[in-house]
Amino acid sequence: MTLALLHLAPREDPWATLRAVRAYALEAQARGASLLLLPELLFGKTPVLGLEEALKELAAEAGLLLLAGYMAEEGRRRKNRLAAFPEGPSYDKVHPYLAEGEEGDEGVAPGEGPVLLRAGMVFGLALCYDLDFPELFRAYALGGAEGFLVGAAWPGAYRELMTVLARARAAENQAYLLLASREDTGSPSLAVGPDGRLLGVREEEGLLLFSPDLEFQRAYRAKYPLLRHRREEAYRVR
């Protein structure tokens, strides 16, 4: 299977951004991709009326699974969301980013927990600051995840940290990790293998296509069975 991620900056308004996404979605499908991952909050930090229906129509038109990051609204609660279109689960960011002196996820309610996506392989969904929390990714791995799909808007000043965390989350769970970053942040988009190797990097606007080798992953996990070697009873601090 072929997966694609999009390295893109928001346009002047959400609908202009959607038009740009459409062009890349059609290109991704033409190049053989069955899934396209978009960055975090690509359509802005406020909910956009009609956006979810438009994303559903776009995914159906392009003939692929579209993973889109946007701000959702449920009653009076806002959620930083990564959702699958035209049909599929949605993940709400479990760890809103709230750092003193920096713009983040102010006013955003945290999500309730992990969400798996089954689309040719089993993926765990995550957003940006979630990378700082290995517990989430380990929960995914123990739940059967073979890969992670991460939307991000990671500040470029901390791009090296983002790369280190992405490689660590992949390596410690022996899973593939795809990270789609907003081009305006100054941080790259990445594809990482289950051994922590960088398999693809995108710095300029455009698509990064990647085909995970599940046979390699199975052999690697069999040779180095990290998950089976865990000893939970030994991790209690006394």
Collapse the DSSP code of 61 into the 3-class scheme (helix H, G, I; strand E, B; otherwise coil) and give the result. Answer: helix
Mean pLDDT of the chain: 96
d(CA 170, CA 137): 9
**Cα separation of 101 and 95, whole Å?**
18
Per-residue pLDDT reduced to its tens digit, 163-198:
999 999 999 999 999 999 999 999 999 999 999 999
CATH number at residue 219: 3.60.110.10
Bigger pLDDT: 105 vs 2: 2
**Helical residues (DSSP H) of 124-178, grouped into ranges:** 134-142, 159-173
pLDDT > 90 fraction of the chain, expressed in percent and rounded: 90
Q: Are 156 and 186 in contact (CB under 8 A)?
A: yes
Residue range 127-149: average pLDDT? Answer: 98
Higher per-residue pLDDT: 86 or 75:
86
Name which residue leads in pLDDT, 82 or 108: 82
Crossing angle (nearest 10°) for helices 134-142 and 159-173: 30
The range of the structural domain enclosing residue 102 comes to 3-234
Q: Whole-model pTM? A: 0.95
CA separation for the pair 146, 194 (Å, rounded): 9
Query: How many structural domains are present in the chain?
Result: 1
The pLDDT value given to residue 147: 99
